[in-house]
Amino acid sequence: MKRIVITGGAGFIGSALVWKLNREGIRDILIVDALGSSDKWKNLVPLNYTDYLHKDIFIRQIRDNAVAFHPDAVVHLGACSSTTERNADYLIDNNFHYTRAVADWAHYKGIRFVYASSAATYGDGSLGFSDDDGVSLTLRPLNMYGYSKSLFDLYALRTGLAERIAGLKFFNVFGPNEYHKGDMISMVLRAFRQANETGSIRLFESDRPEYGHGDQKRDFVYVKDCVDVLWWLLQNPGVNGIFNLGTGEARTWNALAAAVFSALDRPASIEYVPMPQALQGKYQYFTEARMERLRKSGYDAPFRSLEDSVRDYVAGYLQPGELNLGATGD
């Protein structure tokens, strides 16, 4: 894989993948995104790539069969990732129709296609977190974002396309290059900022008796581990299907807060606050990726622990000034 298109290439995971590809000696990269007035452009400054194209121009070129950049692979990470976005038409157009058009074009051209799905497709988790195709066909997401991502998974499964492409259901990803995400930043970054500004970290109270305050669990996965998996999929174009991407181990928000304070070398101080009404009934109390499918496909690299990942993020990037990947020559 020498020439690669990355949609969402200026975003969080996308720019981290460019960083990874640069480390592997690949620079012939077309970044597709919509920078607007956001700070995403800062993610690109330390990176090497061939060209940048606005996402509207790219999809127009695809529909006109006029793409000038001829890639070996397309990694489609571009999407509206806001779990609180309420414009359903926008989400379906941006997260489903766009993805379908790019995937169909890539398949027709014989181009490797890897795309981002989401753990939000699992809804409340009552059906478990298996990435078995039969389970995916039965899922009921809790929010419109999760539904828009599920729509393409369903399309790929029902048409047989999933047997020719690779999708990843990302769980709770955190790490450098997420600084532009506003309200959608990870809890690690939010906790770091809170600890520095107020001396304490705020977590949601629980309104379920089986969970203590802050004991809600998530599968937190470091962005460096995520791009290692993406790179592996690019190197192994025969590995296809829709896979979970987490660590396989759920950890509590309390454990995350403790890891941040430990990385800061400070005693933990946690404040519990009521859950916003907008999240009530739509909040996942437990997520944990079943990772057997990816492992059986041949991916055998270990995932970093929450504590190691948080320490690397805090000490290597946040404390020095919220640095981007590549800014220090890493």
Helices 223-235 and 12-23: crossing angle in degrees, nearest 10, is 60
| Active-site option among 98, 122, 145, 147 | 145
CA-based R_g, the chain, Å:
19
Exposure class string for 234-254: b at 16+ Cβ within 10 A, else e: beebebbbbbbbbbbebbbbb
Residue 247, SS3? coil
Give the CA distances from residue 15 to residues 9, 60, 83, 209, in Å, rounded to whole numbers and listed in that order. Answer: 5, 23, 21, 40
Q: Which of 42, 109, 181, 282 is catalytic?
A: 181
Conformation bin of residue 115: beta by default, left when phi > 0, alpha when psi is -120 to 50: beta
Active site residue 145: yes
Whole-angstrom Cα distance, residue 218 to residue 129?
12
Q: Which DSSP symbol is given to 158?
A: H
d(CA 74, CA 112): 6
Give the residue from 164, 193, 169 showing the smallest Cα distance to 181: 193
- Measured CA distances, 208 to 51, 92, 281, 283, 286 (Å): 50, 32, 11, 11, 12
Report DSSP state, residue 314. I
In one-letter notation, the amino acid at residue 148 is S
List phi, psi (to 5°) of 7: -80, 145
| Phi, then psi, of 321 in degrees rounded to 5 | 130, 35
Pairing relation of β-strands 251-252 and 217-218?
A: antiparallel
- Please give the positions annotated as active site: 145, 181
